[in-house]
Amino acid sequence: MKQGLYVPNVGHYADPRRLAAYAVAAEASGWDGFFVWDHLLLETPTALPACDTWTALTAILARTRTLIAGPLVTPLARRRPAKVARETVTLDELSGGRLVLGVGLGADARGEFTAFGEPAGARARAERLDEGLAVLRALWTGEEHSHDGTHHHLDKVRFLPAPRHPIPVWTAATHGHARPLARAARHDGVILMVREPTGALRGPTPAELAHTLRALPPLERPDGFQVAVPGTLPADRPDEAAERLRAVQEQGGTWWLEAFDPWRRDPAELRRWIDQGPPLR
């Protein structure tokens, strides 16, 4: 199982130079991946500063050599697929194939859609996500395509260059929801979350992970399908942390993402995790 760090692009983490420096240090200490939130606006209860995730990823991938990196997740419903196609192919070339594209519906809990006049309903976001993914994959082929959909239109477009390396697409899904799991099975990986009754999100327990993976349509999944599990481990109890990671791996997890947020985990804690390296060597 690979091990990565999952950090915000807001609050105390909103400096792209520091994010790039963290990624360089994480690579040196043996971490496999460095993934960044993708928010334009985050208010809780007041607005937090933010940096542009895609610009930060450019710096991260330019300064590292082996680290896997990407946005987790970009709300494709508020993006134009042609722009995302151009960005991802450029980052694929820059990094030598180390980009992962994480996508999801996003949320409007803090006005990230409605504040900018974007449709915020869950059904509308899901439709835009699915159509956007179809357009994105068509553009990645480098072949001529036309598309006349509800939200996007292509008129005999041939987008060059095509990616030199297949760009993995991981889609966000929540425990107990069939449609996001079916969407994930059509792509290259899934980032699994559990939604609490309060609306808060967390990573699944090993038992929840096993239950959720049984619900994934197995015949549709491609070879090398990735299962990313975010969560928090006890830094001061390494044996307990390693035991939990082994349980996640036994239940089908292929990536552990040590998750940070701008409210409860500050950059000093991230730095300690970077310096001590991944729990499973």
pLDDT at 276: 92
CA angle 204, 189, 257 (to 5 degrees): 45
pLDDT at 44: 67
Report the C-alpha gap between 281 and 269 in whole angstroms.
Answer: 20
pLDDT at 218: 63
pLDDT at 222: 61
Query: Position 237: which residue type?
Result: R
Report the C-alpha gap between 8 and 144 in whole angstroms.
Answer: 37
Token pair of 213 as six digits: 């993976």
Q: Residue 18: what are its φ and ψ, rounded to 5°?
A: -70, -40
Q: What is the pLDDT of residues 45-90, one digit of tens each?
A: 677 899 999 999 999 999 999 999 999 999 999 999 999 999 999 9
In this prediction, what percent of the chain has a pLDDT beyond 90? 67
Q: What is the pLDDT of residues 197-240, one digit of tens each?
A: 766 778 888 888 988 888 776 645 567 899 999 999 988 888 89
Say if strands 74-75 and 101-104 run parallel, antiparallel, or are unpaired: parallel
Element (H, E) at 264: none
Cα-based distances in Å from 209 to 203, 249, 251, 253? 9, 10, 7, 8
Say if CB 102 and CB 180 are below 8 A apart. no
Query: Position 177: which residue type?
Result: H
CA angle 13, 68, 205 (to 5 degrees): 75
Cα-based distances in Å from 183 to 54, 58, 103, 133, 229? 24, 27, 11, 10, 17
In the chain, helix, strand, coil percent, each to 5?
40, 20, 40
Whole-model pTM over 0.85: yes
What 8-state DSSP symbol labels residue 113? T
